Chain A
Amino acid sequence: MFSFILRRLAQSLLVMAVVSAISFSLFNFVGDPVNNMVGQDATREDRIRIRNELGLNDPILTQYIRFMGNALQGDFGLSYRIKRPVDELIIERLPATLELVFASAVIALVLGITAGVYTGIRRNSWFSRSILSVSLVGVSLPTFIIGIGLIYLFAVILRWLPSSGRSGVVEFGWWKTNFLTLDGWRSIILPALTLSLFQMTMILRLVRAEMLEVMQADFIKFARARGLAERAINFTHALKNTLVPVITIIGINIGGLIAFSVITETVFQWPGTGLMFIQAVDFVDVPIMAAYLCFVALMFVTVNLIVDLMYFAIDPRIRIRGR
């Protein structure tokens, strides 16, 4: 048991090491940091001085270790464009992204799994078939088109909901939340729906496919041969076995939500980390790009670790070694 967790932990650390190395190399390969620090009119001497001050002439390994040391303390330097510490910027915008991702994850998981199980059990009903057809359209709709469509329908034509921005927030220290005012809810609904739709259809289709796969298994046939009720077969035997692969999918999907938040935040001008990242890419603002990359990897690794622990709870084959 411990070796299982230890191995996963080691893998996560490896991932973080590689991602941080890539982040670090961004500083060296993309643009010249000195150019970004000083104006066009800086003298040659100034440049050399700053180069030395920044330690850019040190051996690459020393620079990497220094970068890692700083990164571990959350220090990614100053943004080239806004000239403010990156960690501050991220923390400021983190609640917006996390709340958006959280709301979308809830929508995607609840609706996706329910519909997936339903279509898996009621394979041939017309309702299942229509859900499936609609879901295929859902997979084919790029997130930004969903966003534009929802904005046009609910903000431009019906004028029910705001078209962009994050309003109605309540502050708790540094955390600003949307969930306490009507206005806050109104502004998060469209972006959350947009972000969840693609993932929801993916989850639905995968849960259904897994369910069908499990229904073919011998132990389901044996359960039938023992005269167990369809209910018990569907929910105790099939669903539990479906959960194992589905949990993996959920881990991947939460990662996907974080990634697609970049697009959703751009469409809705939602002031989260994703919007900040895309602006940073536009201006080659390397410190923000590097920090965001590490941040996303950290989120993803954490989600995957939680997923592994859930496997542990569900699957006795991992928990208990056979005789």
Chain B
Amino acid sequence: MLLQVNKLDVDFPTRRGTVKAARGVNLTVEPGEVLGLVGESGAGKSTIGNAIMGLLERPGRVSGGEILFQGKDIRGLPDEDMRKIRGDKIGMIFQDPQTSLNPLLTVGEQLIETIQKTLGLREAEAKARAVDLLQKVGIEEAEARLRNYPHQFSGGMRQRVVIALALAGDPDLIIADEPTTALDVSIQAQILDLIKGLCRSRNLGVIIVTHDIGVIANIADRVTVMYRGEVVETGAVAQVLGAPQHDYTKSLIAAVPRADRRLTRFASIDYIEGGTTPFNRIDVQSHWLGKHQEMRAPDGVAIEVDKVSLSFTLQRALLPRNRKLLRAVDDVSFAIREGETFGLVGESGSGKSTVARCIARLYRPEAGAIRVMGRDLLADPRAADTRAAKRALQMIFQDPYSSLNARMRVADIVSEPIRAFRLAETEREVRSIVGDLLDHVGLGSAAALRYPHEFSGGQRQRISIARALASRPRILICDEPTSALDVSVQATILNLLKDLQDELGLTMLFISHDLPVIRQMCDRIAVMRHGKICEIAQNEALFSAPKHPYTRHLLDLMPRMDLLEPATV
């Protein structure tokens, strides 16, 4: 037994009382084994990692239980003794490789410093070992790259350097806290392979802390599921994911979007609070939302993107040859039919969000034309039907924390489009419409009087949806609407979007980096890379018979989900 955590309690005293971040947590790790520690935000999974390392942020403290490392209780050791364990015996990998390395020291300096401290080697030996380590984590020309600074490495390479640093003292246990969350899918797979390989070849114990069931399915041997500071279930991966025992695990796994098959809705999630508000259909004929919706798209095409291009300046310079431009969107064309959900999928930097922002008039394309409901919104901004078309197009954003003005009440946020487009006659009418909308998205009309910070991420996203509906749109652009949310909350939001689309006959442009989500939501899908569209296909066709090599590559990188139990719908 490498590590055994028994009945661990972690307290965070705050002025509103003590928050118990972990309660009676038990877990074990054997050498050569990857333990997945999975849970949603607030589950306390990162706290466990920090508690083991003795690096809890103040005022947090371990208030009970024991942490047996190689048979010795290391809980509450003085900092002096912990320092001999950190780096030497237990290594740690953090989430964001951008900020984990000191920007002013070369990679070599940081590695050699760590090796000298942990292994007590002389400079020349330490350097040789540093080269060896960089090679082991898959960095080429290791000797030359020792002299490079962190900013000279790409994100994935930087995370490899971080792993090399964690391995520098030849530890027996590695704690990796969301090691791939900040990385793209293709790099994520490589990093996970690297960690798994190191675990096997060096007989390391590894704890992977993550919110991502896909990561667990791919790398972990055993998994411990946490919810609200408590362990709800532990077991072999196949057993926990395939036949979960605890209700929470069942709901969690049901909420994970599947790539293998399209379901009409996500299974109803009953374990998570606030997730069960039933959707009350409205009578579209008589309801405010259904009024004045006579605007029709010509030939049934709601959005037409015609050879659109846009470049960003990466580096300004006096001489044109030194200037660097990024072709964020490169000659992109597609058309979205009325009532359909069109998916735009790609890795970060592929230009998918830029296309959406061009359609929403947040960016002005350099070339090409965009027609919404048959009108070019940039051509004649004053015309009445242009304004009607603008009203018909609304957007839902990614980050629930920055998409609402923190200084405005929910009522003012939601009513802003109503006032801007003069969709109500009186103040009273505005207020009743706002209450209605908030009710409809499952928040209840009392929410109107509150401020955004009083709501959770998922609830804020509902406010965003209510605001988008407030202009009585025909088209919704959803830009990664759930990628900042926990998977269980994601399922409820996606269900809400589906319900609204059914009810109001909305056209949707759905943007995501997450193929399984796209699989569940979209009728037709376009795959983007480097500003260009690789392939446009029907949902079923794209997943069963991808034509473009890049699409196939993306599909291959998707986490294996065959361990998951067959969804019950």
Contacts and interface: CB of A to CB of B under 8 A. Distances in A.
A–B proximity contact (CB within 8 A): yes
Contact of A226 (B86, B151, B317, B322): B86
A88 to B, nearest CB: 41
Interface in A179-221: 217-219, 221
A226 B152 contact: no
A112 to B, nearest CB: 22
A227 B87 contact: yes
Interface in A274-323: 314-317, 320, 322-323
A223 interface: yes
Given A225-B92, A226-B118, A237-B105, A219 B151 contact: no
A219 B102 contact: yes
The size class of the interface chain A forms with chain B is 20 to 34
A218 B152 contact: no
Interface string B310-342: 000000011000100000000000000000000
A221 B96 CA distance: 12
B86 A224 contact: yes
A241 B118 contact: no
A43 B96 CA distance: 80
A235 to B, nearest CB: 12
B435 interface: no
Contacts of B82: 227
Given A226-B87, A227-B84, A316-B151, A232 B113 contact: yes
B104 A228 contact: no
A29 interface: no
A228 to B, nearest CB: 6
Contacts of B91: 225-226
A217 B98 CA distance: 11
Nearest to A243: B104
Contacts of B178: none
Most chain A CB atoms below 10 A, which of B102, B105, B113? B102
A320 B106 CA distance: 12
A222 B152 contact: no
Interface in A223-259: 223-229, 232, 236-237, 240-241, 244
A73 interface: no
Contacts of B92: 222, 225-226
A3 interface: yes
B454 to A, nearest CB: 27
B166 interface: yes
A224 B91 CA distance: 10
B434 interface: no
Contacts of A226: 86-87, 91-92, 114, 117-118, 165-166, 168-169
Contacts of B53: 225
A232 B116 CA distance: 12
B100 interface: yes
Contacts of A224: 55, 86
Contact of A222 (B101, B151, B317): B101
Given A224-B55, A236-B105, A229 B83 contact: yes
Contacts of A228: 83, 87, 113-114, 117
B105 A322 contact: no
Given A225-B92, A226-B166, A227-B169, A316 B103 contact: yes
A310 to B, nearest CB: 13
Interface string B142-169: 0000000101111000000010011011
A219 B100 contact: yes
Nearest to A217: B99
A241 B102 contact: yes
Given A226-B166, A228-B114, A320-B152, A3 B322 contact: yes
A218 B150 CA distance: 14
Contacts of A232: 113, 117
A222 B94 CA distance: 7
A315 B149 CA distance: 10
Nearest to A223: B102
Contacts of A236: 105, 113
Nearest to A224: B55
The size class of the interface chain B forms with chain A is 35 or more
Nearest to A228: B117
A226 B93 CA distance: 10
Contacts of B212: none
A322 B158 CA distance: 12
Given A222-B100, A225-B92, A322 B87 contact: no
A111 B55 CA distance: 33
Contacts of A223: 102
Contacts of A229: 83, 117
Nearest to B53: A225
Nearest to A219: B102
Contact of B103 (A221, A225, A241): A241
A320 B149 contact: yes
B85 interface: yes
Given A228-B113, A232-B113, A314 B162 contact: no
A219 B105 CA distance: 11
B427 to A, nearest CB: 46
Contacts of B84: 227
B9 interface: no
Contacts of A222: 92, 94, 100-101, 162, 165
A294 B118 CA distance: 57
B230 interface: no
A222 B307 CA distance: 47
Contacts of B152: 320, 322-323
Contact of A219 (B99, B154, B169, B317): B99
A309 to B, nearest CB: 17
Most chain B CB atoms below 10 A, which of A3, A241, A314, A316? A316
Given A222-B94, A227-B87, A3 B318 contact: yes
Contacts of A227: 82-88, 117-118, 169
Interface string A1-33: 001000000000000000000000000000000
A107 to B, nearest CB: 28
B149 A316 contact: yes
Contacts of B317: 3
Given A219-B99, A222-B94, A224-B55, A241 B149 contact: no
Given A225-B87, A226-B91, A226-B169, 13 more contacts: A219-B99, A219-B102, A222-B100, A224-B55, A226-B86, A227-B84, A227-B85, A227-B118, A229-B117, A236-B105, A240-B104, A244-B104, A316-B104
Cβ-closest 5 pairs across A and B? A227-B87, A227-B86, A218-B99, A225-B92, A226-B87
25 contacts: A3-B317, A218-B94, A219-B101, A219-B102, A221-B94, A222-B100, A225-B91, A225-B92, A225-B94, A226-B92, A226-B118, A226-B166, A226-B169, A227-B118, A228-B83, A228-B114, A229-B83, A232-B113, A241-B103, A315-B103, A316-B104, A316-B106, A317-B149, A317-B151, A320-B149
